[in-house]
């Protein structure tokens, strides 16, 4: 079964659903978690609702709710997709084969960030011609899989696992609210509980374009708050490149091992971790 969490982005979700239906192996069911989005309850999918949390969207909690719902519907393979992701023709089939062959692995797939859509929108049959996976992540060729246990490379844009692997992982830590940190936390926890991480070359996905900022200044408060949670759990800070760029721009500062910004309390970290 496929699981997507959403708050808005209805056009992107609609096209994702088209891509899933057009694939060589459509999912048995598509669970959509609507985060404070009542319009989605009328959509042709298995929709469950979740209120927003104080401080931002409950991304980690929404994924847990979505996967839990899929398992309640007797899913043996769960595929989690970001609402912006379109699926390649063989994504569902390739993930299902990888999970059933190696159910103790949490599998990810290569994702291409698409340019802005042309007039008339993206043409689903032509997506493969735009294939250009993100260079910072593994991208095995079509038909190949590889194990890679680096937790910093895991991302929730597109991944799949067996029901048993999900239960063993413990799911996403719901202390994280808003943007950042929960993916690496999940991957570290999964490895610590005896699971492996891997990449499926044929599970191609295509991330629909939308405006972004680099670094993601609009998520600065989330990044500092979630980074502090990560540090408390793991003893190091994630997203250091973004924090250092924020510092260069004068948006945050480090004092005596503290990340601070105007209007926020300091988040404690050891100087060696920054």
pLDDT bin (cut points 50, 70, 90) of residue 212 is confident
pLDDT bin (cut points 50, 70, 90) of residue 61 is very high
Q: Which pLDDT does position 144 carry in this prediction?
A: 98
pLDDT above 90 (res 255): no
Instruction: Name the 3-class secondary structure at 50.
Output: strand
Helices 59-72 & 182-192 angle (0-180, nearest 10): 50
Question: In this structure, is the dihedral angle defined by the CA atoms of residues 274, 138, 21 and 172, taken in order, positive or negative?
Answer: negative
User: Averaged over 238-251, what is the pLDDT?
Assistant: 89
User: Averaged over 35-45, what is the pLDDT?
Assistant: 89
pLDDT above 70 (res 258): no
Q: What is the pLDDT of residues 133-144, one digit of tens each?
A: 999 999 999 999
Helices 240-248 & 220-234 angle (0-180, nearest 10): 130
Sequence-ordered strand ranges (E) for 39-157: 46-50, 77-81, 85-87, 105-108, 111-113, 145-147
Q: Which pLDDT does position 214 carry in this prediction?
A: 85
This prediction has a pTM of 0.92
The residue assigned the tokens 């202390």 is: 175
Q: What is the pLDDT of residues 87-132, one digit of tens each?
A: 999 999 999 999 999 999 999 999 999 999 999 999 999 999 999 9
Question: HSE (CB half, 13 Å, CA atoms) of 61?
Answer: 18
DSSP summary character for residue 42: G
Q: What is the pLDDT of residues 168-190, one digit of tens each?
A: 999 999 999 998 999 999 999 99
Q: Which pLDDT does position 263 carry in this prediction?
A: 46
pLDDT above 90 (res 204): yes
Q: Which pLDDT does position 270 carry in this prediction?
A: 35
Q: Which pLDDT does position 121 carry in this prediction?
A: 95
């Amino acid at each position: 079964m496929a699981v997507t969490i959403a708050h808005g982005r209805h056009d992107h979700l609609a096209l994702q659903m088209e891509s899933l239906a057009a694939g060589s192996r459509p999912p048995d069911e598509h669970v959509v978690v609507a985060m404070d989005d009542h319009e989605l309850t009328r959509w042709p999918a298995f929709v469950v609702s979740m209120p927003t949390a104080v401080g931002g969207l409950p991304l980690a909690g929404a994924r847990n709710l979505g996967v839990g719902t899929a398992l309640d519907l007797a899913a043996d393979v769960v595929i989690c997709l970001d609402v912006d992701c379109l699926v390649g023709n063989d994504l569902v089939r390739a993930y299902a084969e990888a999970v059933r062959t190696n159910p103790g692995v949490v599998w990810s797939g290569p994702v291409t960030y698409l340019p802005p859509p042309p007039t008339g929108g993206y043409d689903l049959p032509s997506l493969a011609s735009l294939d250009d996976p993100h260079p910072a992540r593994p991208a095995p060729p079509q038909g190949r899989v590889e194990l890679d246990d680096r937790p910093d490379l895991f991302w929730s844009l597109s991944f799949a696992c067996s029901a048993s692997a999900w239960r063993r992982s413990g799911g996403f830590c719901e202390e994280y609210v808003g943007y950042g940190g929960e993916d690496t936390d999940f991957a570290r926890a999964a490895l610590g509980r005896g699971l492996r991480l891997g990449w499926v070359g044929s599970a191609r996905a295509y991330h629909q374009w939308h405006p972004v900022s680099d670094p993601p200044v609009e998520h600065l408060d989330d990044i500092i708050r979630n980074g502090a949670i990560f540090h408390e759990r793991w003893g190091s800070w994630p997203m250091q490149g973004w924090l250092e760029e924020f510092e260069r721009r004068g948006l945050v500062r480090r004092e005596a091992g503290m990340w601070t910004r105007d209007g926020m309390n300091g988040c404690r970290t050891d100087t060696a971790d920054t």
